[in-house]
Amino acid sequence: MSPARSTAVLALLLLLLAAFAALSLTIGAVAVSPSGWWEVVFGGDPRGLGALLFDFRLPRMLTALASGAALAVAGLLMQTWFRNPLAGPDLLGITTGATLGAALAVLGTGGMLGGLFARFGVTSSAVLGAFFALLLIMLVGTRVRGNLALLVSGMMLSFLMGAVVSMLTELASANQVQSLVSWSFGSFGEVSRGRLPFLLLPVGAGLLLAVASVRSLDALLLGEEHARSLGIPIHLARVTILASAALLSGGVTAWCGPVAFIGLAVPHLARLALGTSRHALLLPGCALIGASLALGADAATFLPGGGRILPLNAMTSLLGAPVVLWIVLSGRHQQSLA
């Protein structure tokens, strides 16, 4: 794809993201039209909607935007590092590792909703859990060959860590179990304005590390030996990519729960839209598509009438699972990412 066409595609994706962001501000338990928000910002808030906008809708929209971008970029990093189009935070156990870290923190702090410092501890534990899971899957990757063997190994590690989470749940109090179950459904609405910076901190750091790894990621598409021949420091690249993926997936999982399929499906949509394997284009493409998908899924959780809200993971699965099925049926999981 020519540079001009790639720029045009990214511009269209940016417009799509803006449309979904506007939609997310209007949909909720109380529907508010764009003209209503215009009155809040420029008309002196005659209907008293300022608290709804600044304390609830805007933080929820920014949370969904940042989380979708983070999970999509984390999925791209893992697919490139493992050269496996079916790699992702969900299937390779990264999300489950973050869940395990968060569950351990919940038991130690007396509940997921117990204050800012307790929640910040949950975030740190989830990042460490994601980092630990990545280390395990990388260790397994040095011993097995082939995409299928790595995928199955990652799924088994995920099951093992999930079993530990289940046992911890049995040891938890009723309030802790309720917090864990509610958290496992996924939600972008639990991050308040005061807590939003503590989500953006690991996500921002992870995205910066991903941008710094663009040259390494392009070289790794052809294998580690090729990357070494180009002067890429493999050890440094491994640590940087590992830290980036752990920060992105762990930070989002801690605050929003284990959000499914975005990290696995979005990189394929970005490659299809941009027609390239260059990470200088794929990184912003994944971030834009992932953010749009997260915003759209979050908006779809609100049933008409404002009475009930569907689980976020149900919507991301409905949107992401068909993409994964298409990857498998089309044989793309057997193709190189380069």
45-73 pLDDT per residue, tens: 666 677 777 888 899 999 999 999 999 99
Q: Is the pLDDT of residue 115 over 60?
A: no
Closest by alpha carbon to 78, among 150, 175, 16?
Answer: 150
Place of tokens 């009930």: 308
Q: Centre a 10 Å sphere on the Cβ of residue 3 and count the other Cβ atoms it contains.
A: 8
Q: Name the burial class of residue 139, with classes exposed (0-12), middle (13-18) and buried (19+) by CB atoms within 10 angstroms of its CB.
A: exposed
**Cα 243 to Cα 131, 182, 209, 266, distances in angstroms:** 7, 28, 8, 20
Examine residue 45 and state whether it is found in any structural domain, yes or no.
Answer: no
**Cα 25 to Cα 21, 48, 53, distances in angstroms:** 7, 16, 8
Q: Which domain CATH number covers 284? A: 1.10.3470.10
Residue 198's domain comprises 61-327
- The structural domain count of the chain equals 1
Examine residue 239 and state whether it is found in any structural domain, yes or no.
Answer: yes
Question: Are the C-beta atoms of residues 146 and 273 closer than 8 Å to each other?
Answer: no
CA distance 112 to 121: 10
Residue 243, both tokens: 């830290």
Question: Are the C-beta atoms of residues 101 and 127 closer than 8 Å to each other?
Answer: yes
Examine residue 200 and state whether it is found in any structural domain, yes or no.
Answer: yes
Examine residue 27 and state whether it is found in any structural domain, yes or no.
Answer: no
Examine residue 300 and state whether it is found in any structural domain, yes or no.
Answer: yes
pTM: 0.85
Question: With bands split at pLDDT 50, 70 and 90, how would you rate the model's confidence at 325?
Answer: confident
Q: Is the pLDDT of residue 283 over 90?
A: yes
Lowest mean pLDDT among 9-23, 44-58, 220-234, 245-259: 44-58
Examine residue 44 and state whether it is found in any structural domain, yes or no.
Answer: no
CA distance 310 to 314: 7
Lowest mean pLDDT among 53-67, 78-92, 214-228: 78-92
Examine residue 293 and state whether it is found in any structural domain, yes or no.
Answer: yes
Lowest mean pLDDT among 46-50, 177-181, 241-245, 317-321: 46-50
Examine residue 198 and state whether it is found in any structural domain, yes or no.
Answer: yes
Give percent of the chain above pLDDT 70: 85
Q: Is the pLDDT of residue 112 over 50?
A: no
